[in-house]
Amino acid sequence: METKILKVVRQGEAFSVQSAKAETGTIQKCNIVLRELGGRSTEGRLQGKTFENEYVCAMLGNLAACRFYEGDVVVATLRFSTHEYQGQTFQEILATDIVKLK
Question: pLDDT at position 93, please?
Answer: 97
Q: For 2-100, CATH number?
A: 2.40.50.140
Question: pLDDT at position 40, please?
Answer: 58
Q: How confident is the model at residue 102 (pLDDT cuts 50, 70, 90)?
A: confident
**Whether the Cβ atoms of residue 54 and residue 9 lie closer than 8 Å to each other:** yes
pLDDT by residue (tens digit) across 21-65?
Answer: 878 889 999 999 999 997 655 555 655 556 789 999 999 999 999
3-state DSSP assignment of residue 21: coil
* Phi, psi at 70, each rounded to 5°: -50, 130
Q: What angle do CA 53, 2, 6 make, to 5 degrees?
A: 45
Amino acid of residue 6: L
- Which residues lie closer than 8 Å to 56 by C-beta, 6 or more apart? 31, 32, 33, 93
Question: pLDDT at position 21, please?
Answer: 80
- Kindly report the pTM of this predicted structure: 0.82
